[in-house]
Amino acid sequence: MEKLPPWLETRSFFGPSRVIYGWGAAGKVGDAARELGAGDGALALLVTDETLHRLGAAAPVQDALRSGGLKVHTFTGVKPEPTLDVAEEVTQASRALRPAVVVGIGGGSVMDMAKLAAVMPANPGSVADYIGQEKLRERAHPLILVPTTAGTGAESSRNAVVTINDKKAFMGSQYLVPQVAVLDPSLTVSLPPTTTAWTGVDALSHCVEGLISATATPLTDAPALAGVRIIREHLTTAYHNGQDRTARASMMVAAYLGGLSLNALMVIGHSIAYTIANRLHLHHGLTCAIALPYTMVYNVPAVPGLLARVAEALGVGGGGEETAAWAAVRAVVELNRALSIPMALRDIKVERSHLPEMARELMERYPRPNNPRPVEYDSLLRLYEAMWEGNVEARV
């Protein structure tokens, strides 16, 4: 029998069962909770962080839940890049409270911790026991996620990230996908330009990495290409004018589509980002943004045709495949520069002497077998050298 091409192999595609979208959509969270079985007087566990709580950003969701007849317990202990201690704390809170529904409102870290609050009570032991793929047995509580940034895509993905011993650790499971994602662009209008930029290019990295992944399928290509087009059209507007409703709403859709693209497993871009963040403790979106054009550079020799599709979505297509692929690289570089994102590792104080260690760490801790070009130490080190110098024209 003829061997099937990879995109025709049997795979699973995950996403929320329901999306509630629109300006002020957070006001529908109470209705969504009731439709998931939370009746009058039932308890909702609301997971957020102290800053959002203090600024009142979680208030629309709290009010909506109470208007729906639910009691609300608010957990505010989530920190950026949450550690295992934070993950265990939110797990213990959920196990003790036994909520009828879990709601997460915040960025990627908050939504990841809300995912754990929804699943861990049905899975005995420590969060660390479930690091890896498909180790969770079931979900304990219904889950609603409400993003307040436009980038991580956690509201539509099957992943959660925990920092253990200063290293990123990953959980992947169908039970980490929320039943309901609530996309309310009004929650993003107060984001500062830097966060808008970093999270926006994080969403772009999900789309581009998903498109060139060896595990990509037409089901992941469609949202990824749409996401690239939307980001091209609206990210710089959202960056310069955060009050622009069209730009904010469009970027929230793009972030959601990027999360769906994560069904095609990521390539080396996110791994590069982790090796940077582990040393400098920088924002995840910023490190992904720095890594993205170099990820494309590394993979031009392997998949120029796929990167040519990225070029077309970025509005710079034309010419042969390799010409278009390099045009895509340069378009991302131009976008990063327009958003004041640094292009060289030396500009963010990475020590050049650390590059060999970073290359080894990527291969040992964050390998990406689905990267279209084999990840080999010598070529990877050349890529890190190019990144340190800011040379986006390097042939590595």
CATH code, domain carrying 224: 1.20.1090.10
CATH code, domain carrying 72: 3.40.50.1970
d(CA 393, CA 387): 10
Residue 352, C-beta contacts closer than 8 angstroms, at least 6 positions apart: 346, 388
d(CA 295, CA 386): 11
Tokens standing for 62? Answer: 């709290």
Residue 167, C-beta contacts closer than 8 angstroms, at least 6 positions apart: 274, 278, 365
Instruction: Say whether both 143 and 270 belong to one domain.
Output: no
d(CA 369, CA 288): 19
Is 293 among the domain residues?
yes
pLDDT tens sequence for the chain (396 residues): 678 887 788 889 999 999 999 999 999 999 999 999 999 999 999 999 999 999 999 999 999 999 999 999 999 999 999 999 999 999 999 999 999 999 999 999 999 999 999 999 999 999 999 999 999 999 999 999 999 999 999 999 999 999 999 889 999 999 999 999 999 999 999 999 999 999 999 999 999 999 999 999 999 999 999 999 999 999 999 999 999 999 999 999 999 999 999 999 999 999 999 999 989 989 999 999 999 999 999 999 999 999 999 999 999 988 999 999 999 999 999 999 999 999 999 999 999 999 999 999 999 999 999 999 999 999 999 999 999 999 999 999
Name the β-bridge partners of 101. Answer: 44
d(CA 216, CA 159): 17
d(CA 127, CA 81): 15
Pair 65, 102: CB distance under 8 Å: no
Is 10 among the domain residues?
no
Is 7 among the domain residues?
no
Give the strands of the sheet with 143-147, arranged side by side.
18-21, 180-183, 143-147, 101-106, 43-49, 71-78
Name the β-bridge partners of 18. Answer: 180
For residue 87, which of 128, 143, 51, 123 has the smallest C-alpha distance? 128
CA distances from 222 to 179, 234, 321 (A): 22, 18, 20
Instruction: Say whether both 125 and 274 belong to one domain.
Output: no
Q: Which residue has the tokens 């709290």?
A: 62
Tokens standing for 297? Answer: 């550079």
Instruction: Say whether both 139 and 208 belong to one domain.
Output: no
CA distances from 34 to 144, 187, 261 (A): 11, 22, 29
* Cα torsion 115, 269, 17, 106: sign: positive
How confident is the model at residue 8, as a pLDDT? 82
Instruction: Say whether both 232 and 269 belong to one domain.
Output: yes
The region, left, alpha or beta by phi > 0 then psi within -120 to 50, assigned to residue 150 is beta
Q: For the residues of 273-289, what is the DSSP string, one character each? A: HHHHHHHH---HHHHHH
DSSP-derived letter for residue 3 is: P
Residue 85, C-beta contacts closer than 8 angstroms, at least 6 positions apart: none
Pair 100, 70: CB distance under 8 Å: yes
For residue 134, which of 255, 215, 14 has the smallest C-alpha distance? 14
- What is the identity of the amino acid at 147? P
How confident is the model at residue 5, as a pLDDT? 80
d(CA 198, CA 285): 5
**CA angle centred on 274, ends 279 and 268, rounded to 5°:** 140
Domain final residue pick, 188, 204, 234: 188
Instruction: Say whether both 233 and 348 belong to one domain.
Output: yes
Three-class secondary structure assignment of 64-85: HHHHCCCEEEEEEEECCCCEHH
Domain final residue pick, 172, 188, 204: 188
Domain final residue pick, 154, 173, 188: 188
Q: Which residue has the tokens 């710079």?
A: 316
Q: How many domains does the chain have?
A: 2
Determine the structural domain holding residue 158 and report its residue range.
18-188
